Amino acid sequence: MLEIKNLHVEVAGQKILKGIDLTINAGEVHAIMGPNGSGKSTLSYAICGKDGYEVTEGSITYKGKNFLELEANERAAEGAFLGFQYPVEIPGVSNMNFLKTAVNSIRKYKGEDEMAPVEFLKLVRAKAAELEMDPEMLKRAVNVGFSGGEKKRNEMVQMAVLDPGFSVLDETDSGLDIDALRVVADGINRMRAPEKSILVITHYQRLLDYVVPDFVHVLADGKIVKSGDKSLAMELEKQGYGHLGIDENAA
Amino acid sequence: MTHKNHFDGSRYANDLTLAYSAPTGTDIDWLNEIRQKSMDAFVEVGLPGARVEEWKYTNLSSMNSKTYGVLEKAGELDAAIMAIIDDAYLDDIRGSKVVFIDGFYKAELSTIKGEDGLKLLSLNEYIKSQNGDAKTLLQSTHEVSSLANLNSALMTDGYVIQVKPNIKLSQPIQIIHVSGERSNLKALRNKNFIEVSENSSAQIIESFIGVDNVDNWKQDVTQIWVEKNAVLEIYQTQLQGNETIHMGETHIDVAEDADFKHYSLNIGAKNSRTEIKPTLNGLHGNVDLRGAFLGRGGNSHDVFTHMKHLVPECESDQIYRGVLDKGGKSAFQGKVYVAKDAQLTNAEQSNKNLLLDRDAEANSKPELLIYADDVKCAHGATVGELDAEALFYLKSRGLYLAAAKSLLVEAFIAEVYDDVAIPSVKEKYLGLARAWLD
């Protein structure tokens, strides 16, 4: 489904990713763990097409499409979703208007008609209710004045509405209390399906208690240094990155 | 001190003669005297040049070689003109419709709806029908600028709106100014008066529209009185043709407990200059000025405000937003004057500008002259670009770059029109902004 081969990425002339190979099949949940500065966020941005993340070597293919030839919005329309570590505040744009524009942009890309307003409203309300978001928040400006937990919940609502085939969640768990963490985990678990795949990027093992991954990879200095199943995450939790010979403070 | 620039008086001699009789059909001695006196005052000073601080961002040198003479009468109506009038007209507004073509009131296109306590007519009708009052009114203006004098000397028409005491107008008045092809190389000068008497209220929707490729100069001077406990809201949109020089100068006297709101959106014209000069001269007066200007491809927009707090305990608030794309230029100059006795003044001003291209220019110059010591005065001015993080966030959700930019720009200016009380006017503002972005 998602195939990353020998991926090298530079940011502002600095080599960050130095040859990543990763294949995520339909129905699988993968977790990438690693210390700060290992290139975790860079990997998520490279997959989703952020400007300034220059792929100097290698490839990213999703459902047979060469992602490197697509703009960020085209990758989203093909089914990729990025859950942000720091969701952006957008004053003056209501959540509802933002979601409607997003849904219809993707439909436009696919050559489909816009969603009927009533149908859209029903969809958004249903997803907000499932994730226990106060419907009033849908009227508010995107993420403006939201607490950390509310912002992450908002990411989960967006993901649920857009219903992506492949989701990358970039440290979605950082800075959350246990209740907010459960909301995020619930949002991710709702996306689990035989035809969908998920990549969870996290610094801590904590989230993986709730979202149990099929595979765990350890990223250090721009490379995957170890892969395993969920027991690898537990091993890291107990023994730390140092145990694998990784300098925790490399950044 | 003189700043004589570009113009000498003799070139206007013929225009003055034309202005004597063309608008009203006959010479009126007292009016001719006012015209002659105003012309003398203009010639004394001339056009403001770049060395005049208030005009430093506005280059009038392109007007140097052109006379922009007085137009004797409006051009013929054609399908194109009728279509842009239809575009500008809000048909859900049931109040009077007042149409000016090439600076002349057109009765056949207007619908004046009688309403108790409202007097609404063209300046020429007013002059013809009530000589004594008109003389008082035209002499009452306290213009100081040379351009206002030029306007008084050569204006061909205008409007007079008077709302008697204790009258709340039930519907907004719509005024549409159209400039067509006949106005090429001509100046269209109107002089307008609005008086909202004690305990009354009025709303005025004013559109300035014109056809492209007509090199003309539209110059309006408006004198407004908002009397004790009265409310006046003005909603302006400027969509002039691409070769037009558009100038609007508005003086407002705001009395005790009176409330004046002025909204504007400048999109069209080669050069636009909007001057708004409120004087708060009664306790607890309030003024809100809100505006946006959108420029690209040789557009230049100037907004000049001069807020005068002469008495204590008044409030004023200004919000202006500029969006400049490739080849667009703008200047916001906001002067706030707080007199020594105007204690407990609360004056705010905010001007933010967004540059969508490296080849765009926004100037912002707040100027606070505060002579009282117990006041709250805040101002902020910024020039920036679209937030790259926000753009990526939107694109990562599937929005095309153009749609993402539109959404962010719309959000940037939406604040200006948040409080617009008439839904169709608000929708018109946002719709015009969206159309400009697309």
pLDDT, average across residues A62-83 = 97
Distance, CA of B273 to chain centre: 8
pLDDT for B1:
40
pLDDT for A19:
96
Into how many domains does chain A fold?
A: 1
Output the six-digit token pair for A106. 């993707």
Tell me how close the Cα of B302 comes to any Cα of chain A, in angstroms.
25
Q: What is the pLDDT of residues B334-370, one digit of tens each?
A: 999 999 999 999 999 999 999 999 999 999 999 999 9
CATH number at residue A186: 3.40.50.300
**Residue B2: pLDDT band by 50, 70, 90 thresholds?**
very low
Listed ranges A130-134, A236-240, B322-326; the one with the highest mean pLDDT: B322-326
Are B398 and A73 a contacting pair at CB < 8 A?
Answer: yes
Tell me how close the Cα of B2 comes to any Cα of chain A, in angstroms.
47
Pairs of residues, one from chain A and one from chain B, whose beta carbons lie less than 8 Å apart: 74
pLDDT for B8:
59
For residue B221, pLDDT beyond 50: yes
CB-closest option in A49, A92, A102 to B397 = A102
B153 burial class (0-12, 13-18, 19+ CB within 10 angstroms)? buried
pLDDT for B132:
77
Q: How far apart are CA B114 and CA B236, in angstroms?
A: 23
Sheet of A223-228, strand order: A80-83, A166-170, A197-202, A29-33, A215-220, A223-228
For residue A251, pLDDT beyond 50: no
pLDDT for B3:
46
* pLDDT above 70: percentage of residues in chain B: 97
SS3 B288: strand
Q: What is the pLDDT of residues B32-76, one digit of tens each?
A: 999 999 998 888 888 887 778 888 888 777 776 787 889 888 888
Nearest CA in chain A to B388: A51
Q: How far apart are CA B340 and CA B356, in angstroms?
A: 42
Q: How far apart are CA B335 and CA B325, in angstroms?
A: 26
Give the CA radius of gyration of chain B. Answer: 21
Q: Are B223 and B189 in contact (CB under 8 A)?
A: no
B108, B119, B396 from B91: Cα distances, Å = 17, 22, 40
CB-closest option in B390, B403, B414 to A101 = B403
Sequence-ordered alpha helix ranges (H) in B105-249:
123-129, 131-140, 146-154
For residue B171, pLDDT beyond 70: yes
pLDDT for B5:
52
Are B390 and A90 a contacting pair at CB < 8 A?
Answer: yes
Give the CA radius of gyration of chain A. Answer: 18
Nearest CA among B256, B258, B278 for reference residue B337: B278
Domain spans, chain B:
75-387, 388-438
- Mean pLDDT, chain A, integer: 93
Residue B144, Cβ neighbours under 10 Å: how many? Answer: 11
pLDDT for B268:
96
Nearest CA among A136, A191, A185 for reference residue A166: A191
Q: How far apart are CA A15 and CA A9, in angstroms?
A: 6
Nearest CA in chain A to B415: A92
In a domain, A30, yes or no: yes
Nearest CA in chain A to B411: A92
Residue found under tokens 């200059």? B273
pLDDT for B421:
93
For residue A248, pLDDT beyond 70: no
For residue A184, pLDDT beyond 60: yes
Nearest CA in chain B to A162: B397
Domain that holds residue A62: 2-244
Tell me how close the Cα of B430 comes to any Cα of chain A, in angstroms.
13
Q: Are A181 and A110 in contact (CB under 8 A)?
A: no
pLDDT for B190:
96
Q: How far apart are CA B173 and CA B204, in angstroms?
A: 5
Q: How far apart are CA B124 and CA A101, in angstroms?
A: 51
Q: What is the pLDDT of residues A124-180, one digit of tens each?
A: 999 999 999 999 999 999 999 999 999 999 999 999 999 999 999 999 888 888 888
Nearest CA in chain B to A92: B411
pLDDT, average across residues B298-304 = 95
Are B411 and A101 a contacting pair at CB < 8 A?
Answer: no
Which residues of A fall below an 8 Å CB-CB distance to B? 48-51, 71-73, 76-77, 81-82, 84, 87-88, 90-93, 97-98, 101-103, 105-106, 108-109, 141, 158, 162
DSSP annotation of B168 reads: B
Q: How far apart are CA A175 and CA A217, in angstroms?
A: 22
Nearest CA among B191, B153, B147 for reference residue B58: B147
Q: Show residues of chain A in contact with B392, CB under 8 Å.
A: 50-51, 72
Nearest CA among B237, B147, B285 for reference residue B428: B237
Give me the residues paired with residue B219 across strands: B189, B247
Q: Ramachandran region of residue A115, left (φ > 0), alpha (ψ -120 to 50) or beta?
A: beta
Nearest CA among B305, B306, B314 for reference residue B282: B314
In a domain, A43, yes or no: yes
Q: Show residues of chain A in contact with B292, CB under 8 Å.
A: none
Give me the residues paired with residue A11 across strands: A14, A53
A86, A216, A222 from A33: Cα distances, Å = 18, 7, 12
Q: What is the pLDDT of residues A22-38, one digit of tens each?
A: 999 999 999 999 988 89
Q: Are B355 and B326 in contact (CB under 8 A)?
A: no
Q: How far apart are CA A20 and CA B70, in angstroms?
A: 75
Tell me how close the Cα of B315 comes to any Cα of chain A, in angstroms.
25
In a domain, A250, yes or no: no
- Mean pLDDT, chain B, integer: 92
Are B393 and A106 a contacting pair at CB < 8 A?
Answer: no
Mean pLDDT check: name the lowest of A76-90, A227-241, B162-176. A227-241
